[in-house]
Structure 1
């Protein structure tokens, strides 16, 4: 039997989708037929991403949502433009290497606001409507750093650990309603932001191919894939979890980590 993911008629909001993993997720959902809301902080970045998506996926229905969902005002703007969605992918996230003893209270709060509370607010707003309609999908893009806290950015890792608990808790709130809530544990992924991060940790004079090999060898040696994951590979799993095919998967932390986490379960 052929696997067919058809999201025609569904409305999907992907936060932080102007680049990287979020942009790849938006594209895959659009290919599956969903009407996709592209979100970023500025109108210019959203317009660029939406234009690129329409070129990449001809005929795609794209909604441009310029708003900072890490703020109450930005969340209110999103809800004004999109009162209801069927699929919510909380992809927004920030990361940066910082020695553990140099992370200030302000920075800890910033990571919690962006990486955790932004998704919590949107879930709290959209989940009741999904439950009432008897169908919906909520996902949080977590990270291998949620399980293997990186010494060079524990604030990021802890924020992603929180998402595993948040998704499990909201899944319990939606139990028996036809709505699923999951987190996706993404492994080390090749994005522009990650390229910058890699060069924070390895010699900047190396070519990208050499830098990537050095990074995986020195900082992520436990990866079974032994390369960075491409954003489209994350998007494939997210699109499956957003589909009717994943109706029995909820409250889960699903791994697409290239075997990075050295455990049978997260």
Structure 2
């Protein structure tokens, strides 16, 4: 299958590292002009350089803006008034007991993980509809269905992303614009690597082996019995953004390694 996104502009929020950066590389390799985003200019510049290193002829632009705020979303639209592909990847996570999670933390997770995608979809979908073609992808998580007891505030936001994507797919019915969510499972991203680094060094294991042990201990329903790579997640997103995925809309697409134990 040859995925050709030449002539398309793709915005990937929160794409300076991890899954977001892998998605940016994958879209660039398929010919899209990719807008990389992060809060800090230094991180954005590093990400742009990483995309160019992976895809020497990449068309890539960087924008430093905090897309969890209205001001950041406005800055993005001023710099890039239109796009064909929007990947709402921006997100935060972290364990915290329900009884120790204050209102302010719930609000912060909602602003970053939910409202950032809502704002950008609201800003860019009308233009996609006018053009008769567009792709919007919300990066959710297997935690949308397997709500972690130690991250209820996080799981709730990922369930919201699935709901918003499904509703927007219905709202855009018949327009040529598709809206989907993608649900990664345990993934050996920069965040997981940092979490497991000390343990891996102490045990003499590779990061891949440490990640596999983490999955077996914490996600025993995994079918692949290991962590996914960021590239494996990105592959699903790139396909979802392609012409070949034109009949897929309103779907919750799993790249969870079979962790979600349902048909």
In structure 1, C-alpha distance between the alignment counterparts of 2:22 and 2:63, rounded to whole Å: 17
SS in 1 for 2:140: strand
Indicate conservation of the 8 Å contact 2:132/2:175, yes or no: yes
| Larger displacement relative to structure 2 (6-15 or 191-200) | 191-200
Matches within 5 A, 1:148-187: 148-187=146-185
Indicate conservation of the 8 Å contact 2:188/2:211, yes or no: no
Deviation at 1:104, TM superposition (A): 1.1
Question: Structure 2 length normalisation: TM-score?
Answer: 0.95
Question: Structure 1 length normalisation: TM-score?
Answer: 0.94
Indicate conservation of the 8 Å contact 1:223/1:258, yes or no: yes
In structure 2, C-alpha distance between the alignment counterparts of 1:203 and 1:52, rounded to whole Å: 25
Distance of aligned partners of 1:195 and 1:55 in 2 relative to their CA distance in 1, 3 Å threshold: closer
Deviation at 1:197, TM superposition (A): 4.2
Structure 1 counterpart of 2:44: 46
Name the count of aligned residue pairs.
261
**Residue of 2, 5, 17 corresponding to 2:3:** 5
Indicate conservation of the 8 Å contact 2:212/2:227, yes or no: no
Indicate conservation of the 8 Å contact 2:141/2:183, yes or no: yes
1:247 aligns with 2:246: yes
Deviation at 1:100, TM superposition (A): 2.0
Unmatched segments (≥5 aa) in structure 1? none
Deviation at 1:51, TM superposition (A): 0.9
Deviation string for 1:16-70 (max 9, x for gaps)? 1000000000000000000000000011110011011111101100111110000
In structure 1, C-alpha distance between the alignment counterparts of 2:254 and 2:200, rounded to whole Å: 30
Indicate conservation of the 8 Å contact 1:34/1:61, yes or no: yes
Indicate conservation of the 8 Å contact 1:97/1:197, yes or no: no
Deviation at 1:210, TM superposition (A): 5.3
Structure 2 counterpart of 1:99: 97
In structure 2, C-alpha distance between the alignment counterparts of 1:225 and 1:115, rounded to whole Å: 27
SS in 2 for 1:254: strand
Indicate conservation of the 8 Å contact 1:96/1:197, yes or no: no
